[in-house]
A and B are shown apart, each in its own frame.
Chain A
């Protein structure tokens, strides 16, 4: 009996697979190192979850392309009032959720309320902190009223997924079974195995997606992913580091795509206690660092020394040549330490995020600082411990990597503003505060740029963060995969245009 039913299941499954293969295009086999912890787009923040849902299952009112330009998403167009406090979005007609219902202004309003709601406790709420109210003018028009003008709003909205309005108060359903508007819809999640998305036949952009689906295989071992790509079991290894990319480079039928990463490596300093409460010590640390050497030694040369903003943000970032302290000068560092009046060598601990690239970087940094009047002790930590210490500002220094955002305000305000939500350094500077407060409300691009230039100069040498490097981000794929582009923010949203 059992055997017969098992046989029947396997037969019908076999038939189904055969039918699917002949009826539609191929499912793209993707291999990633970590599985998501959940799929609710308003609750997740980690890369493995973001990669699955962003742009594939869910879309926002706006979208960001591979050049980080803001494009229309579920909103076809928008108007901004002259005081910059009212945004009116015209929604794209004919958009359907994966459950078949129409996407209307009501869903947009509910999604924004859901992110802001206390019960859902979305970590994305601060991205909408400027939004006072959202209302549906008619089924195709949404109006957002702001407390104050917010220059980063359109960029932030690209990361706020639109979900069906009945989910507004539902905490759990979307974590397991996402319902979005994107080119792929959720099919199956086998924890520690894979996540399978299939083609959304009713996608609003005619003719897309061209792929039959996406299968995110969760493969923790790097060597296994590499072999799987080379022998064709996997078609795409997205967002990998230089070491992994070099291993598969030049293998038959494998190609590599790369871009400048928005994510940056950094040394964070606690300015609420000695020795880094003294700006001269922070400046000395910057002189002591040799960023090019870090790139060469720890990133296999795949990256660039970077300042407070990623060089990928071409219209914002200053060239690092503009920062005097970026010239490697151990003697100057020693002199600054003497000026600061601290006893040398300055003994400090450096807590290290448990990732191979960060561990490598930390060792190089230790060596460089020890040659310039510091005495650095490395503390390798388990992930949970590191995060806890980070959040509680329990560190002298830490080495880490952070995701970057397309708009400077999204990074600077929360990180360097007095009392900012991720200002774990306890940094407080009246001039920086004033510039950040003003720049986020300015409409004029060049005036904003002038303010952020000042902020960058100030932060580069004596800020609480020594920005180290911006890496090159790689994706390795079978050369049959066409149309996919690796994106600086690690989104896989270009897969909607890809063919295999």
Chain B
């Protein structure tokens, strides 16, 4: 077990190192430098002032030197400071991490928890009217863009319940009720495509499992149908389900940019988007590293879960 862990940690280090170099180079290849963008179009400034501003934020040094300085302090846990605000990058990421974690958790909870019974039901009623209705709904859920869904939900809610605060974000620790109120719609907007995706997956995995010989054996020896579906078949159908949930978690941890924009939630997606738009190099670099680390760790966790779910993997 500890060997596996060690191997994974080495993997993680290699991935992070590679990503750090790629990100470092890529964001500097985009045309338009940080100083010019901060100044905007039509600001009166002399080239000497521009040079001063570049020096001020350390962008006048050779690129290799910039990387070494950055990587050196990052290794010691110091991600530097945001280009113009001087705010520590770590602090900035932490602030934006909470809304993203909460959105990820809530939307997965809604999506994944509902997907299992819905998927099972679809498999059981295969070909019937209920199955068709659910499958059509699932496809709709997959194809409706979440920004559109979000805006429609905001409009509907503001008509039905005008006093319901649905925009923006308040930390759970400050106002638990206000927090959940504001997280409700974005979580649903994010959960619907997850639900659609996962329930279709559960359906096909279940259909596969229900056709197996051991199911027939279980039924033949008189096991109740509920138990056949939820104990014998479901457990075997869970592996692809877990894989999907893992990948989705990884994506959600990167921030749901569109939904964050629509609901004005200060999550990682908007942090990255804003950082790229203003070429806030230290912030982009650190945020992408954190997101990458999250992705790798989640996948590692999923691998560990395989072992729990499926005893055959243990061997």
Partner-B contacts on A (CB < 8 A): 6, 9-10, 13-14, 35, 37-38, 43, 45-46, 118-119, 121-123, 125-127, 171-172, 175-176, 190-194, 217-221, 223-224, 227-228, 230-233, 353, 382-388, 390-391, 400, 402-403, 414, 420-422
Contacts and interface: CB of A to CB of B under 8 A. Distances in A.
Interface string B270-281: 110010011100
B168 interface: yes
Given A9-B173, A219-B167, A192 B274 contact: yes
A220 to B, nearest CB: 5
B268 to A, nearest CB: 10
A224 B264 contact: yes
A194 to B, nearest CB: 7
B74 interface: no
Nearest to A218: B264
Given A191-B92, A383-B32, A227 B158 contact: yes
Interface string B100-135: 000000000000000000000000000000000000
B169 A193 contact: yes
A402 B42 CA distance: 7
B165 A233 contact: yes
A384 B95 contact: no
B42 A224 contact: no
Given A172-B86, A191-B87, 11 more contacts: A9-B173, A46-B38, A126-B46, A191-B96, A191-B266, A224-B167, A384-B32, A384-B33, A388-B33, A390-B42, A414-B44
B43 interface: yes
Interface stretch (B48-56, B204-212, B243-251, B294-302): B48-56
Closest A-B pairs by Cβ, 8 of them: A384-B32, A121-B52, A192-B266, A172-B86, A231-B158, A193-B266, A421-B44, A219-B264
A240 B172 CA distance: 32
Contacts of A388: 31-33, 36
A123 B43 contact: yes
B45 interface: yes
A479 B46 CA distance: 45
A45 B43 CA distance: 7
Contact of B43 (A217, A220, A224, A422): A422
Contacts of B174: 9-10, 13
A382 B27 CA distance: 14
Contacts of A191: 85, 87, 92, 95-96, 266, 271
Contacts of B87: 176, 191
B261 A221 contact: yes
Interface of B: 30-33, 36-46, 49, 52-53, 56, 84-87, 92, 95-96, 147, 151, 154-155, 158, 162, 165-169, 172-176, 261-264, 266-267, 270-271, 274, 277-279
Contacts of A192: 96, 266-267, 270-271, 274
Nearest to B274: A192
Contacts of B173: 6, 9-10
B266 A121 contact: no
A485 B93 CA distance: 37
A46 B158 contact: no
Nearest to A45: B43
A118 B52 contact: yes
Contacts of A38: 84-85
B41 A171 contact: no
A484 B295 CA distance: 48
Contacts, number: 157
Given A220-B270, A227-B155, A190 B95 contact: yes
A223 B151 contact: yes
B106 to A, nearest CB: 18
17 contacts: A14-B175, A43-B84, A118-B52, A171-B86, A191-B87, A193-B168, A193-B169, A217-B264, A220-B261, A221-B151, A223-B154, A228-B167, A384-B31, A384-B33, A391-B36, A402-B41, A421-B44
A308 B263 CA distance: 41
Nearest to B30: A384
B280 to A, nearest CB: 8
Contacts of B33: 384, 388
B168 A123 contact: no
A224 B162 contact: no
A388 B38 CA distance: 11
B49 A123 contact: yes
A122 B53 CA distance: 8
Given A190-B95, A190-B266, A227-B154, A123 B44 contact: yes
Nearest to B264: A219
Contact of A387 (B37, B169, B264, B267): B37
A8 to B, nearest CB: 10
A194 B168 CA distance: 9
Contacts of A385: 30-32
A171 B84 CA distance: 10
A382 B30 CA distance: 10
Nearest to B55: A121
Contacts of B49: 121-123, 125
B234 to A, nearest CB: 34
A9 B179 CA distance: 14
Given A10-B173, A45-B40, A126-B46, A221 B262 contact: yes
Contacts of A383: 32, 37, 277
Contacts of A414: 44
Contacts of B85: 37-38, 175-176, 191
Contacts of A121: 49, 52-53, 56
Contacts of A122: 49
A261 to B, nearest CB: 15
Most chain B Cβ neighbours within 10 Å, of A35, A126, A227, A353 = A227
Contact of A10 (B165, B168, B176, B267): B176
Nearest to B262: A221
Contacts of B41: 353, 386-387, 390, 400, 402
B176 to A, nearest CB: 6
A123 B167 contact: no
Contacts of B86: 171-172, 175-176
Contacts of B92: 191
Contacts of B39: 45, 123, 387
Nearest to B165: A233
Nearest to B162: A231
Contacts of B271: 191-192
Nearest to B155: A227
B264 A10 contact: no
Contacts of B166: 233
A232 B264 CA distance: 16
Nearest to A172: B86
B151 to A, nearest CB: 5
B46 A13 contact: no
A404 to B, nearest CB: 10
Contacts of A194: 168
Contact of A224 (B40, B176, B262, B274): B262
Contacts of A386: 32, 41
A221 B32 contact: no
Q: Which of B33, B84, B176, B263 has the most CB of A within 10 A?
A: B84
